[in-house]
């Protein structure tokens, strides 16, 4: 299973222990929010984690393997929930 955290730099300054998460997935990729290749990043992902970046209907529909969207913050207004369902 492949997991990506799209804007990890907005969530952690490198002080989080990711060992349990890394043990749960075959591949974990962490990206900085300045990298704006969201469609490319989630295209083959099973799990997408994000904090503040937006996931539109178009982005979600372009990620056919996606099984889980995890928001590491408060609120859900940055994700098209209808498309995610």
Torsion of CA 7, 50, 36, 83, to 10 degrees: 180
CA distances (Å), 74 to each of 21, 60, 62, in order? 20, 20, 25
Domain span holding position 65:
2-33+43-74
- Is 60's pLDDT higher than 80? yes
How many whole angstroms separate alpha carbon 12 and alpha carbon 26? 21
How many whole angstroms separate alpha carbon 29 and alpha carbon 38? 13
What is the dihedral sign for C-alpha 13, 10, 82, 75? positive
Query: Can you give the pTM of this predicted structure?
Result: 0.90
Q: What's the domain count of the chain?
A: 1
The tens digit of pLDDT for each residue in 5-51 reads 999 999 998 889 999 999 999 999 999 987 679 999 999 999 999 99
What integer pLDDT is reported at residue 4 of this predicted model? 97
End-to-end CA distance of the chain: 20
What integer pLDDT is reported at residue 59 of this predicted model? 95
Q: Is residue 6 part of a domain?
A: yes
Q: Is residue 84 part of a domain?
A: no
What integer pLDDT is reported at residue 35 of this predicted model? 66
CB 2 within 8 A of CB 46: yes
Q: Is residue 60 part of a domain?
A: yes
What integer pLDDT is reported at residue 77 of this predicted model? 94
């Amino acid at each position: 299973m492949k997991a990506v955290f799209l804007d990890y730099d907005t969530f952690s300054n490198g002080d989080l222990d990711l060992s349990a998460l890394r043990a749960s997935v075959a591949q974990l990729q962490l990206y900085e929010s300045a990298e704006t290749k969201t469609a490319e990043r989630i295209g083959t992902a099973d799990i997408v984690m994000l904090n503040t970046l937006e996931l539109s209907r178009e982005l979600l529909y372009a990620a056919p393997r996606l099984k889980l969207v995890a928001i590491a913050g408060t609120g859900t207004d940055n994700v098209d929930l209808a498309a995610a369902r």
